[in-house]
Amino acid sequence: DTGVSQDPRHKITKRGQNVTFRCDPISEHNRLYWYRQTLGQGPEFLTYFQNEAQLEKSRLLSDRFSAERPKGSFSTLEIQRTEQGDSAMYLCASSFAGGGLWEQYFGPGTRLTVT
Amino acid sequence: GNSVTQMEGPVTLSEEAFLTINCTYTATGYPSLFWYVQYPGEGLQLLLKATKADDKGSNKGFEATYRKETTSFHLEKGSVQVSDSAVYFCALTPVGGGADGLTFGKGTHLIIQP
């Protein structure tokens, strides 16, 4: 069984460019979460999906951020018109909503550097 | 809103020392509580959890007890090893699970010297 995977692992982009990150959850998990982690801080929750439905998106940092999970499997996080302040580690996690466990399993993250 | 406060690091200990990392939380109701660990160059891993008051989570020699009266979930280990060097995060989810995702503390960097 493979864990949560994220692609790419590192992304360097110039300010103003759009970037898209991909997350593949653990196959039997129906919930998928996105977080942002900046240096010296804990992860900050951004959004989550149950199957293909995005159930919480008010925590997305601005309207430049959007996420999709079109078939209830993998998900993408897009940042439009990147700014230097977007430089951070973007983490994906998945869980199985059932049985009251709510354990989230994290991927290795995508490190974004905006120059 | 929900929040987690944990002790500032870095915490430096000698091998075989006793470890305590303090964690307190603010949340409505009865959240589930977690400790995650991030080893150098690796992703976040769940270390242990507790879902109700007085539960004790344990794993790899680490323990934490859910104390509702003090809203705390302190991480302890009786004898640390160099391999325990990592960043430790305390986290919570609201009652009913991940509706708001996990709320994390800032993390505590633990350094164990031989």
Transcribe B56-99 into DSSP letters: EEEETTEEEE-BTTTTB--EEESS--GGG-EEEEEEEE-TTSST
CA distance linking residue B83 with residue B80, whole number of Å: 8
**B91 pLDDT more than 60:** yes
CA B112 to chain centroid, in Å, comes to 17
Q: Which residues of A are less than 8 Å from B105 in CB distance?
A: 42
What's the pLDDT at A99?
60
Return the residue of A nearest to B39 by Cα. Answer: A108
Per-residue pLDDT of chain A (115 residues), as tens digits, is 579 999 999 999 999 999 999 999 999 888 999 999 998 899 999 999 988 888 877 778 889 999 999 888 999 999 999 999 999 999 999 988 776 556 889 999 999 999 9
Residue B20 confidence class, pLDDT cut points 50, 70, 90: very high
Count of CB atoms situated within 10 Å of the CB of B51: 18
* Close Cβ partners of B84 (under 8 Å, ≥ 6 residues apart): B19, B77, B110, B112
Q: What is the pLDDT of residues B22-77, one digit of tens each?
A: 999 999 878 999 999 999 888 899 999 998 899 999 999 999 999 999 999 999 99
The Cα-based distances of A114 to A36, A90, B38 in angstroms read 15, 13, 24
> What is the rounded CA–CA span in Å between residue A106 and residue B12?
27
CB contact under 8 A, B44 and A48: no
**Chain B contacts of A32, Cβ < 8 Å?**
none
Pairwise CB contact (< 8 Å): B98 & A31: yes
Smallest CA–CA distance, residue B83 to chain A, in Å, is: 20
CA distance B56 to chain A (A): 15
Mutate to test the interface with A, among B25, B44, B49 (most CBs of A within 10 A): B44
Measure the CA–CA gap between A57 and A47, rounded to whole angstroms. Answer: 5
- How far does CA A93 lie from the centroid of its chain? 7
The C-alpha of B42 sits at a distance from chain A's nearest C-alpha, in angstroms, of 6
The two beta strands, A5-7 and A19-24, are antiparallel
